[in-house]
Amino acid sequence: MGKVTMGPQYLIYPMPILLVGANVHDKPNFMAVAFCGIANAEPPMISVAIQHHRYTHGGIRQNLTFSVNVPSSDLIKEADYCGITSGSKVNKVEACQFKVFYGKLNNAPLIEQCPVNLECRVVHILDLGSHSLIIGRIEETYVSESCLTNGKPDVNKIKPLIYNRAPSRHYQAFGEVVAKAFSIGEELKPKE
Amino acid sequence: MGKVTMGPQYLIYPMPILLVGANVHDKPNFMAVAFCGIANAEPPMISVAIQHHRYTHGGIRQNLTFSVNVPSSDLIKEADYCGITSGSKVNKVEACQFKVFYGKLNNAPLIEQCPVNLECRVVHILDLGSHSLIIGRIEETYVSESCLTNGKPDVNKIKPLIYNRAPSRHYQAFGEVVAKAFSIGEELKPKE
């Protein structure tokens, strides 16, 4: 059959790299997260999985709010830094020179330099083992004006990144458009 | 500040496109899912969000197992077809000429042509509104031998796709490597 088994693995599941923010002891902190997901459409909800001991985790549990910031490829150094350091030891906002702003929730810190920012209110926390799965209802979305085309967010300006572990751990850009969604599959429908 | 608000939106959250499989009335069926996520590391778990009325949803609820199949760009037509049709009306396996195999769970159908296949056992189902968030523990991972490099899965051979909604709904390939993860951020650490 040409298949090999590799045991239970999530290693080949490509995910975007995001910066999750929370106020911890009343100061903004951010961590890099690739364990994320879309959880619901109406109302819009997303999920992030965070290890229990992480500094940001404490802030989210305390405030029951968090932010999700999509770094562009220009911010990859900062995003990676937020993944290899802990807010318990360094001031990441200072080190990364992030400009922080707050939106309607007042206590979910947002990064101005990130082209897309989501403010979320926690609706569920599931302890699944090594990680807590935190499900947040998106309360507001902010997009940098410079990343809009005709008033709509444009991935070619946002330049989000994928975190890829196969075969080694890299950040990759989005590549060429392969096909139009909800369209190319029509070719497989029987002709009438 | 150069930001515009867009209301609560998940539209700018780039996600991989996957084929979620389940046996429904004892026959294999697959649907395209971009609402997915990594939920836990130890033990490995993933999440998929599926509308309650979907045909596949019934099969997952009944068996409490499902599969996740990563289509390569060669299979984009089939993947899209599985997103715009319902198993209640058409036999998708036949239309797409999928070769289906089963692994250790016996009732989670896997697609041989997809380079990566995960078998999952349901551990949680959360009804969040429009969608059920289904959390599955990965029981086994299968990778096509042709997509390995030195025994490790290689994204350049797997060729997974991102589903992107901004500005319009397209499938995009992975692009160039931008940086090494857990590494480039070192540059921001103070010199010792």
- Report the side by side order of strands in the sheet with A161-164: A15-16, A161-164, A170-180, B170-180, B161-164, B15-16
Q: For an interface test with B, give the residue of A147, A172, A186 to mutate (most B CBs within 10 A).
A: A172
Q: Determine whether the interchain pair A131/B40 forms a contact, defined as Cβ–Cβ distance below 8 Å.
A: yes
Residue of A6, A35, A160 lying closest to B14 (CB–CB): A160
Does B13 have pLDDT greater than 70? Answer: no
Average pLDDT over residues B32-36: 93
Q: What residue of A is the nearest CA neighbor of B179?
A: A171
Average pLDDT over residues B8-37: 89
Tell me what pLDDT residue A11 has: 63
Q: Determine whether the interchain pair B166/A155 forms a contact, defined as Cβ–Cβ distance below 8 Å.
A: yes
A143: which residues sit within 8 A by CB, 6+ positions away? A115, A116, A117, A153, B3, B4, B6, B12
Distance CA A120, CA A180 (A): 30
Band (pLDDT 50/70/90 cuts) for residue B9 is confident
Tell me what pLDDT residue B1 has: 61
Distance CA B103, CA A101 (A): 50
Tell me what pLDDT residue B167 has: 82
The answer to whether A47 touches A99, Cβ cutoff 8 Å, is: no
Average pLDDT of every residue of chain B: 93
Band (pLDDT 50/70/90 cuts) for residue B82 is very high
Convert the pLDDT of each residue in B112-147 to its tens digit: 999 999 999 999 999 999 999 999 999 999 999 999
Residue of B123, B145, B182 lying closest to A4 (CB–CB): B145
Q: Determine whether the interchain pair B80/A16 forms a contact, defined as Cβ–Cβ distance below 8 Å.
A: no
Sign of CA dihedral B48, B68, A72, A63: positive
How many angstroms separate the CA of residue B51 from the nearest CA in chain A?
A: 9
Per-residue pLDDT of chain A (192 residues; tens, 9 = 90+): 699 888 887 666 668 899 999 999 999 999 999 999 999 999 999 999 999 999 999 999 999 999 999 999 999 999 999 999 999 999 999 999 999 999 999 999 999 999 999 999 999 999 999 999 999 999 999 999 999 999 889 999 999 999 988 888 999 999 999 999 999 999 999 876
Q: Determine whether the interchain pair A15/B1 forms a contact, defined as Cβ–Cβ distance below 8 Å.
A: no
Distance CA B14, CA B46 (A): 16
Q: Determine whether the interchain pair A49/B39 forms a contact, defined as Cβ–Cβ distance below 8 Å.
A: yes
